[in-house]
Amino acid sequence: MAFHNILTLSSLRRHLDANGLRFSGRKLRLALVLIAIGVVGRIVFLSLRLANIETVMVASLLAGSLLGGLYVVIVPVSILLSTDVIIYLAKYPGFYPLQDVALLAMFVYSGFVLVSLVGMASRRHVVFKLKSVAILTAISIPATILYDVWTATGMWWTILGRPPSSLSLLQVYSAQVPFTFFHVLSSLIFVPLFGTIFIYYLGQPSALPSPTPASADEP
């Protein structure tokens, strides 16, 4: 019945919207803005030599919670790909062997996609009200910690756990602690800031439709 129902154009459109798969102009523009925020923030704070103060986290979280669908992958991956080219080719070329960097990149990229998925899991609760900022801020803390644990594990597995560093996993986690506190600080500042802006913007009359649960009985 569900397959028959998506055969009409309008029902196909509803099906794609319900699952966040249609690249509507408005969603695409919002995604581009999130990508720009992630790129500019990452480069600016790295230029100021402020490690772990970045806007990729908030862009990924908002992509998941406000856009959903394929934007969960597109937004964080676009930010990282475009900035990594600048950072690792122009700024710190060849510091680590390329194959190790590529392996580490898998952890970093998947980490931010994971954050985006966490944001998407909260999507039903983000209904373009200001209290949604509180929800997003609250989930940004465990999302940031989860990301840091995941990438620290990757850093140990690909680089620091091997010679010449030869650090234990516990040593890597211990060294990560102050970085994580500053990373959480970054999330506590940027998530409410950008979350408020985007939720207010999307709460306008011409806003995106609220996320609706997929249903086999949809007409």
Partner 1 sequence: MKLRPAWNVTRHSVLMSLGFAACLMVSIVGVWVLANATMPQQVPSPAAPLHLALRVVEDGKVIEYSSNQSRNNTAFSLLLEAARDRHFEVAWENWTVPSESVLVTSIDGLEGGDGGRWWQYWVNDAYGTVGADHAQLHDGDVVEWRFTTYSP
* 181 phi/psi in degrees, rounded to 5: -60, -45
Closest to partner 1 by CB, 21 vs 177, is: 177
Rounded to a whole number of angstroms, the minimum distance from the CB of residue 140 to partner 1 is 11
Q: Which amino acid is at 178?
A: P
Q: Does 50 engage in binding with partner 1 (CB under 8 A)?
A: yes
Nearest distance in Å: CB 72, partner 1:
26
H-only helix segments in 63-216: 71-84, 98-121, 131-155, 169-202
Query: Could you tell me the smallest distance in angstroms from the CB atom of residue 52 to partner 1?
Result: 6
Q: Which of residues 126-185 bind partner 1 (CB under 8 A)?
A: 130-131, 133-134, 137, 159-160, 162-167, 175, 177-179, 181-182, 184-185
Nearer to partner 1, 78 or 144 (CB): 144
The CA distance from 75 to 61, in Å, is: 10
Q: Whose Cβ is closer to partner 1: residue 66's or residue 184's?
A: 184
Comparing CB distances to partner 1, the nearer of 32 and 169 is: 169
| Cα-to-chain-centroid distance, residue 111 | 8
175: CB partners within 8 A, 6+ apart: 167
CB closer to partner 1 out of 150 and 181: 181
DSSP class of residue 22 equals S
Neighbouring residues of 204: CB distance < 8 A, sequence distance ≥ 6? none
Alpha carbon distance 114, 76 (integer Å): 10
What residues line the site for partner 1 (CB under 8 A)?
A: 48-53, 92-97, 130-131, 133-134, 137, 159-160, 162-167, 175, 177-179, 181-182, 184-185, 188-189, 192
